[in-house]
Structure 1
Amino acid sequence: MTVDCGCTNEDDLVKLVNESIDRISKAPEGDNLAQTLSCQKIRVAKVHLDGLNKTKKTHFNDRSIFDGILKADSVQSLAEESLTLREKLKSIGVFKDVALTVDASSVQPLLPEVKCVDLVLDCKETRMLKASVNVMAGSNEFSGQTVLKLANVFGRGEGLSFGHSRSTANIGCYSFDITKLLSHDFNTAFKWSFLKSHEPSYISNYDLKNCGFLAEVSRPHNKWRSTLRYGGIWRNFYCPSWETPFDIRLNSGHSLISSLLYTLAYNSRQGAAGTSISPGMSLENKIELAGMVLGGEHNFMKVETKFKKIASLTSWARLSLSLNAGHLVSLDATDPPSIVDRFFLGGPGSVRGFMMGGLGPHRNNCAFGGASYWSSGISLFTRLPFRPAKGSFGDQFWLHAFVNAGNLFEKLDVTEPDFVQKLCGNMRYTVGAGIHWRFMNFASIELNYCIPKSVQPGDRANPGVQLGVSLDVL
């Protein structure tokens, strides 16, 4: 069989490229004409950006996102790089849609066997003013968020947004954000936020008001994302009830926290890392430094890691394994970390079978939290019997059986010889089963029957039926 790889007419070449772009965009994995598409040598002479009204063309000068398209040397590589470029331009928040067209070029090639073409990008800009209303999930709570956005304010991809959120737990927040994509490949994002929030804690019986700013830089790399954030927050801590224990009241008053937080996250699962039960792995590592050279009245270092692996056993069963751990170290011997910065364990999204923050010491039903913790869980998910509403609403429901374990420590010294023994001493664990609803792909709603084991003095267990709403589940 002989394959004709030549295009004697420039119009035929342009038609071939445009058809290949359309074919690859619809079926990127199955192209029987790969040999024909790969043997014709071509070069992109110019890239035209049409449809720019608000956006400045200088915003795209010397951008490395065009390197791939300019290095394409065949019809197939041009088609693939064109689709990659289109998706990249649509992701920067400036364009609503980008149409690709290949046209004949007036530039003469240096080699006679190479054909020169021009790539025309017909861009449709997004509306400058946008408004949205969102529903989010937290720790056994729902919250509504209203956001007003101004996109591409100065024509270089800048974004301004004002948001207000209110949760069922009476947690409210006002925020004003400024965003900008940096770097030559539009991958580095900068965000400057001003916020004012009210965060009452019902498990420890205190109120907290925050006011300050956050400066954040993030950059993805394949399935990884690294984020560096600095925060300067003024805190107003007070206890509205006289039943709040004195040890918690010691945190009352105004204070300033200045902290630097670095997060390295990996996610190979589809959807949100916490709510999706799609096969894959997610990993999140956080390290936070407060006080010292950064200033402020809180001095500590906080390290936390969260790992989850989901394996597909059959088409109707999946196995989930989770492991979380955290450690809080005070950098001031005379001033321990505030209860706001401590770890709390227990609840429908944590170690099931316990109240929210139910592990660890309590006084007057107020949780004190801990400086160190670990928790793990293993769950077996199966489809509903007889698969009602298969392929639609019924696919959001799963039956699951689980075993959760965890421990919370007031003080844990990793240098002690009996460190491992203390780590597992007085371990709490829970067994149970229930139904899991992946609600609109952003929240996990569960109705479980829990049997907590090895409950320690001071814990607040919740045996029996437990209903929970959470963004992240163990």
Structure 2
Amino acid sequence: MGSGKSKLFQETSASGGGKSNLDFTTFKARVDRINISGLNRTHDDYVQRAIQSLFRAQNFQDVITETTNVKDNLMQLGIYKNLKVHIDVSKGKSATKNGYEITFQGDELSRLTGSIGTELGQNDGAATAELTSPNIFGRGERLSLNYSYSYVKSSVLNLRFTKPYYHTVIGDYNPETSISIFKHSSPAPWSKFRTDETGILLDFSFTLPFGLSNSLQYEIGMKEIFALDKLTPFFVRENCGPKLAAIVRYIGVFEGRDSNVFPTNGVFMKTTNEMIGSSLSQFGIVKSDVHCEMNVPLFAGISLQMTGRIGVLFNDKLKEAIPINQLFFPGGPQSLRGFEVAGACSSREGVAAGCQSYWASGIHVWSPLPFGSYFGGFGNLFRTHFFYNFGTCNMFTTDKLRSTAGVGLAFRLGQKARIEFNYCHPLSFEAGDRVKKGFQFGIGYEFI
């Protein structure tokens, strides 16, 4: 019954019988025993809570439904690489009338796993390599080493230890803690600087019953800004040098859409709020960024999408300038189409100077491909859209409004990202903005 030792869980209460018929909901059934095989390193208490719902089954339909749910719960624990299920009539002295025995048979993950692949960012793609040691101490703990390098020459190196608490009384909220040691490097060619970050990140994440995912973080480390080349302006060079930085961060995500990439119905919201300072007790900057999206189905697969994003920076230490790497840089195919990346904000000496606040919005009409049914399933990977983007920076009025109208074709990549080919016609812009009239290419997972 699979490799490794087996865990046997037994319910001792009795249950009544009933007549058998094809309506599974009226066919009395109960689970007498649950057998879990293939567990060598995993402790019993880590899997017990995941299977308890099976003992509450009262008919055969409940048994089938809860068996599927329990299988998903066991896979979520991060201990199995594969899992099979067997349902059989209960036998033996402890068997009850209408009793069943459920066996979950699987293989634990290896002590060391690795992967090499690619991942998509906002108008960026990166090659990634990862080594993971799962289930280190028998309760889902894992240690992972991740490295990625993108074509825009940004790099990420993370060493992360994660501890889940799915087996505890608060397991329904998917609680998880982690500690990471990181080294990041990210260039900002629109302002001719590069930021290197080295530090430690503490994270506690959980999910509320109505679908709000939450992450509370504390980050402390060294942030250093470098001039990207000899043409970097002096006002950017003033920010250069190492600085100790501490950040308290909250990230909240509500996902209510029917699809991550091409939604036709539902609401999405994401908020990131940070308090930035030089130590845990000295915070001078508050930074908030909120992204919202609402989708409404119309007819014949056509849907209306309304999006918006707003960012604000507050500086309590008025005598100290906000570092340039903390400013907002609106513009580009993910925010205000028809503008280059960071092209919809103020500029100085030929480079983007950033802004302390901005807002941007978008109205889209999405439609399947005409005659898409002739392409079979391949046609479902494409959508066309008409759009109107508008917004501005450093004010919350319609003064100095930037706006663009256009039409485009989008292609879905997996279940999280898409590629857009848009024809953009900027309607209003300011002197110094870097507009991009004509075709624009964008790739990412969050668009306005």
Same fold (TM over 0.5): yes
Per the alignment, residue 6 of structure 2 pairs with none
1:444 to 399, 411, 418: 418
Q: Return closer, same or farther for 1:140/1:43 CA change in 2, 3 Å cut-off.
A: closer
Q: What does residue range 24-173 of structure 1 map to in structure 2 within 5 Å?
A: 33-37=23-27, 40=28, 42-60=29-47, 63=49, 65-95=50-80, 96-104=82-90, 115-173=98-156
Query: CA deviation digits over 1:206-238, x for unaligned, max 9?
Result: 011111121112122353211111111311112
Q: Which amino acid aligns with 2:243?
A: S
Q: Find runs of 4+ consecutive structure 1 residues off by over 6 angstroms.
A: none
1:333 to 307, 318, 324: 318
Share of identical aligned residues, percent?
A: 26
How big is the shift at 1:400? Answer: 1.4
Q: Return closer, same or farther for 1:389/1:365 CA change in 2, 3 Å cut-off.
A: farther
Task: Give the secondary-structure state (helix, strand or coil) at the position aligned to 2:341.
Answer: coil
Q: Tell me how far apart the structure 2 counterparts of residues 129 and 360 of structure 1 sit (CA, whole Å).
A: 47
Q: Which amino acid aligns with 2:156?
A: C
Q: Return closer, same or farther for 1:98/1:213 CA change in 2, 3 Å cut-off.
A: farther
Task: Give the secondary-structure state (helix, strand or coil) at the position aligned to 2:77.
Answer: coil
Task: Give the secondary-structure state (helix, strand or coil) at the position aligned to 2:372.
Answer: coil
Q: Return closer, same or farther for 1:426/1:462 CA change in 2, 3 Å cut-off.
A: same
- Tell me whether 1:263 sits opposite 2:231 in the alignment: no
- Tell me whether 1:6 sits opposite 2:19 in the alignment: yes
Q: Return closer, same or farther for 1:5/1:295 CA change in 2, 3 Å cut-off.
A: same
How big is the shift at 1:76? Answer: 2.5
Q: Tell me how far apart the structure 2 counterparts of residues 108 and 441 of structure 1 sit (CA, whole Å).
A: 47
Per the alignment, residue 277 of structure 2 pairs with 291
How big is the shift at 1:254? Answer: 0.6
Per the alignment, residue 418 of structure 1 pairs with none
Per the alignment, residue 434 of structure 2 pairs with 460
Q: Return closer, same or farther for 1:98/1:230 CA change in 2, 3 Å cut-off.
A: farther
Preserved CA contact (<8 Å) 1:224 1:264: yes
Q: What does residue range 213-224 of structure 1 map to in structure 2 within 5 Å?
A: 213-220=200-207, 221-224=209-212
Q: Return closer, same or farther for 1:455/1:153 CA change in 2, 3 Å cut-off.
A: same
How big is the shift at 1:302? Answer: 1.3
Preserved CA contact (<8 Å) 2:89 2:99: no
Preserved CA contact (<8 Å) 2:30 2:60: no
Q: Tell me how far apart the structure 2 counterparts of residues 469 and 264 of structure 1 sit (CA, whole Å).
A: 23
Q: Which amino acid aligns with 1:396?
A: L
Q: What does residue range 315-334 of structure 1 map to in structure 2 within 5 Å?
A: 315-334=300-319
How big is the shift at 1:74? Answer: 2.9
Per the alignment, residue 246 of structure 1 pairs with 234
How big is the shift at 1:259? Answer: 1.0
Which of 74-83 and 158-167 deviates more? Answer: 74-83
Aligned length: 426
How big is the shift at 1:119? Answer: 3.5
Task: Give the secondary-structure state (helix, strand or coil) at the position aligned to 1:128.
Answer: coil
Q: Return closer, same or farther for 1:43/1:466 CA change in 2, 3 Å cut-off.
A: closer
Task: Give the secondary-structure state (helix, strand or coil) at the position aligned to 1:350.
Answer: coil
Task: Give the secondary-structure state (helix, strand or coil) at the position aligned to 2:67.
Answer: helix
Q: Tell me how far apart the structure 2 counterparts of residues 47 and 445 of structure 1 sit (CA, whole Å).
A: 46
How big is the shift at 1:300? Answer: 1.0
Preserved CA contact (<8 Å) 1:145 1:165: yes
Task: Give the secondary-structure state (helix, strand or coil) at the position aligned to 2:376.
Answer: coil
Per the alignment, residue 394 of structure 1 pairs with 379
How big is the shift at 1:116? Answer: 4.7
The unaligned stretches of length 5 or more in structure 2 are: 1-16
Per the alignment, residue 443 of structure 2 pairs with 469
Which of 244-253 and 318-327 deviates more? Answer: 244-253
Per the alignment, residue 302 of structure 1 pairs with 287
1:350 to 326, 329, 335: 335
Query: CA deviation digits over 1:424-455, x for unaligned, max 9?
Result: 22111111112212233443222222111221
Task: Give the secondary-structure state (helix, strand or coil) at the position aligned to 1:197.
Answer: strand
Preserved CA contact (<8 Å) 2:83 2:104: no
Q: Tell me how far apart the structure 2 counterparts of residues 255 and 43 of structure 1 sit (CA, whole Å).
A: 63
Greater strand share, structure number: 2
Per the alignment, residue 175 of structure 2 pairs with 188
How big is the shift at 1:88? Answer: 0.6
Preserved CA contact (<8 Å) 1:151 1:158: yes
1:174 to 126, 144, 157: 157
Q: Which amino acid aligns with 2:145?
A: F
How big is the shift at 1:337? Answer: 2.2
Task: Give the secondary-structure state (helix, strand or coil) at the position aligned to 2:379.
Answer: helix
Per the alignment, residue 208 of structure 1 pairs with 195
Preserved CA contact (<8 Å) 1:165 1:172: yes
Which of 399-408 and 441-450 deviates more? Answer: 441-450
Structural RMSD (CA)? 2.5
Preserved CA contact (<8 Å) 2:245 2:279: no
Q: Tell me how far apart the structure 1 counterparts of residues 42 and 378 of structure 2 sit (CA, whole Å).
A: 42
Q: Tell me how far apart the structure 2 counterparts of residues 390 and 318 of structure 1 sit (CA, whole Å).
A: 21
Task: Give the secondary-structure state (helix, strand or coil) at the position aligned to 1:194.
Answer: strand
Q: Tell me how far apart the structure 2 counterparts of residues 90 and 98 of structure 1 sit (CA, whole Å).
A: 11
Preserved CA contact (<8 Å) 1:326 1:374: yes
Preserved CA contact (<8 Å) 1:107 1:116: no
Q: Tell me how far apart the structure 2 counterparts of residues 389 and 75 of structure 1 sit (CA, whole Å).
A: 42
Preserved CA contact (<8 Å) 1:444 1:472: no
